[in-house]
Chains A and B, each alone.
Chain A
Amino acid sequence: MPAHPTAQAAVAELTARLGDPDDADNPLGHAAILAADEDAEILTAGERLLDDTGLNAEYVPAALGGRFERLDRLIDVARTVFRRDPTLGAGHGIGSFLAAVNIWSAGTPAQQKAVADLLLANGKLAVTYNELAHGNDLLACETHARRSGDTLLLNGRKEPITNAARAAAYVVFARTDPAPGQRSHSQLLVRPADVPPTTLRTLPRTATVGMRGLPLAGVEFTDCPLGDDAVVGAPGQGLQTALTSFQVTRIALPAVLAGALDTGLRLAVRHLAGRRLYGASALRIPAVRRLLAGAYADLLLSETVTAVAARGAHLTPGESSVHAAGAKYLVTGTLLGAFDDLATAMGAHGYLRAGDTAFFQKLLRDIRAAQVLHASRAACLLTLMPQLPLLATRSWNRDRAAHAGLFRPAETLPPLAWDRLKVTAKGHDHLTPALRDAADGPAGDEVTREAREWTGRLRTLADSCAALAPAELTPLAGTTAYDLAAHYASVRAAAATLGTWQHGRGTTLPDERWWPLALLARLPSSPRHRVTPLPDHLAEPAVEDLIARCTDDRPLGLARGWAPPGGQP
């Protein structure tokens, strides 16, 4: 018997305590959240609730007193917060998680204990990679720590940083060796309470278009003195720690952001159902139905891709760099596209700051601004690009077998092995062989036919990538490799979809063939293609399912089927 509630119980409790979103008197409802957003403040009542329910424990490994054992559970619980208010989700806990993974993966036992205790006491941790001048170009980082006797003196300026002004500790990415190369940076654990106040200064808050309530600011270190015990792991390990930490956070973040689309879909369906245009409900307008169906397929796609990636971090940790970069690139783009479609369906009401649909424009802005939380989509492509030729020669052009466990959300998972997360996949890919498995399905079946199309696309991708010269894979070399990397993210999403269709049965997944077909239809079919609207024969069953689930207040997502060992989905 687990000492803590199951994911389902935790989600149910949190949902109940968040209360009715439409109740104007609910301090955690949409009206209160909108008021906080107008004031550019984080929802204080929401933070209090999350503190009361001990949400931070979801981000702390079980071995250190928390409840984090499985990435899928963490996603399920955190997504519940993002479904209500993405700004609250970002500002309360997930920001701390983005920082803490560095400590879980590389910190000393003392650092791990200190950070676990800090989080379990409802403290916040801030991760500071960003410098305005260098974005995701980590090696260009100017913040540095130089040795002076027994002390490291930290100097530099990091911004924009979530929770910069109220974090109990920072994980600072800094240069610790002037030599070139990948062993010249370290992460440093800095507690403002432990350093002279004049050496650590938080800068004025940064305003944003969306996630307006998120307390973003800069932090500046001036000869900030640190002991050697501040270095996370071994000196010079910083880049490796960062890259492996991203493999967990680049899965978790897009997965929880999908919660915003769940709410956006419900708002759109409710609004359009109550709206009469041209003598009928707006929900009967074919063009509106197609937009809603596409956005719904996008939600299912986002949840399927991130569910598979989350299992991948546990089951094929050596490949987590491509699981994470592929999922983050694809899902963040999918969510943006889905919100565009919903906004088109909503028309002017998608942008009104008052009235019944006001919450939609907040979600629309929040999802766009989510970029401030984490690595850019281009950075994800840059993770995939150098790996493409080796993936082609070592996996795509060979008869590899898929890891079927990736596609079985109801099955148990081994613990996350931080030391088995590697900075690259070394050409190994146990996901895309699922395409070939699905292509071997019954002839004449539409899913089989689609699987054969995607198998062909993987073959074409392999030919293009095997022919790439190293010089074509650098950030400045041109757009070809970017396009191929983006297409690889689509091919992976197709494999996740088809694998889940084949192996994910017996869970809460719907057993209807429109869903794999609709998800595949939302994926760009070649490197330079864009997302297209769903054809009517897929859009109609999708939109009917969406409307029925919204009407009955049932979950919209796919990735809810996992059960704890011995439990029920």
Chain B
Amino acid sequence: MTETTAEATDDRSAAGVGDWLTRQIADFAEVPADSVAADRPLTEYGIDSVSGLAICARIEDHYDLDIDPTLLWDAPTVEALTDLLRDELAARG
């Protein structure tokens, strides 16, 4: 576990959410965050159904959201995931 994942951030802007997500993916993939491209499928970084569940749980815990476990099915890139999460957060106000 890298230090960045524990770092609290309350930045809910698109850039903030995107950065946080990128760091999570990098953490699971065990690669530097700057090597994770926002438009590439997460599966390319070794994210599978198991780590996908863990990532969903991290998203729920971090943003205090209740998300559907199929979230990553519909949003298979950091970019798509950021958009969906932004919508969720906006809907919650």
A424-B53 contact given A180-B43, A474-B48, CB 8 Å threshold: yes
Chain B at the A interface: SS class: helix
Which residue of the partner chain, among A239, A390, A422, contacts B54 with CB atoms under 8 Å?
A: A390
Contact status B68-A422, CB under 8 Å: yes
Q: How many angstroms from the CA of A43 to the CA of B60 in the assembled complex?
A: 53
Contact status B69-A423, CB under 8 Å: yes
Q: Which residue of B lies closest to A426 (CB)?
A: B69
A394-B69 contact given A386-B49, A474-B48, CB 8 Å threshold: no
Number of interface residues of A (CB under 8 A): 20
Contact status A424-B69, CB under 8 Å: yes
Q: Mark B47-75, 1 if CB is under 8 A from A, else 0.
A: 01111011011001000000011100110
Number of interface residues of B (CB under 8 A): 17
Q: How many angstroms from the CA of A415 to the CA of B20 in the assembled complex?
A: 39
Q: How many angstroms from the CA of A240 to the CA of B68 in the assembled complex?
A: 11
Contact status B68-A183, CB under 8 Å: no
A426-B56 contact given A470-B48, A470-B50, A474-B48, CB 8 Å threshold: yes
Q: How many angstroms from the CA of A18 to the CA of B76 in the assembled complex?
A: 54
Q: Residues of B contacting A474 with CB < 8 Å?
A: 48, 50
Which residue of the partner chain, among A240, A426, A473, contacts B60 with CB atoms under 8 Å?
A: A426
A386-B53 contact given A180-B43, A422-B68, CB 8 Å threshold: yes
Q: How many angstroms from the CA of A423 to the CA of B53 in the assembled complex?
A: 11
Q: How many angstroms from the CA of A423 to the CA of B48 in the assembled complex?
A: 15
Q: How many angstroms from the CA of A319 to the CA of B56 in the assembled complex?
A: 16
A142 to chain B, nearest CB (A): 21
Which residue of the partner chain, among A239, A394, A424, A470, contacts B51 with CB atoms under 8 Å?
A: A470
Contact status A422-B51, CB under 8 Å: no
Q: Mark A368-411, 1 if CB is under 8 A from B, else 0.
A: 00000000000000000011011001100000000000000000
B65 to chain A, nearest CB (A): 11
Q: How many angstroms from the CA of A183 to the CA of B53 in the assembled complex?
A: 17
Q: Residues of B contacting A274 with CB < 8 Å?
A: none
A464 to chain B, nearest CB (A): 16
Q: Mark B26-49, 1 if CB is under 8 A from A, else 0.
A: 001000000000000001000011
Contact status A386-B50, CB under 8 Å: yes
24 residue pairs bridging A and B, Cβ less than 8 Å apart: A180-B43, A181-B43, A181-B73, A181-B76, A182-B73, A183-B74, A240-B73, A386-B49, A389-B54, A390-B54, A394-B57, A422-B70, A423-B69, A424-B69, A426-B57, A426-B60, A426-B69, A470-B48, A470-B50, A470-B51, A470-B54, A473-B50, A474-B48, A474-B50
Residues of A within 8 A of B (CB): 180-183, 239-240, 386-387, 389-390, 393-394, 422-424, 426-427, 470, 473-474
- Other contacts beyond A180-B43, A386-B49: 7, CB < 8 A: A181-B43, A386-B53, A389-B54, A390-B57, A424-B53, A424-B69, A474-B48
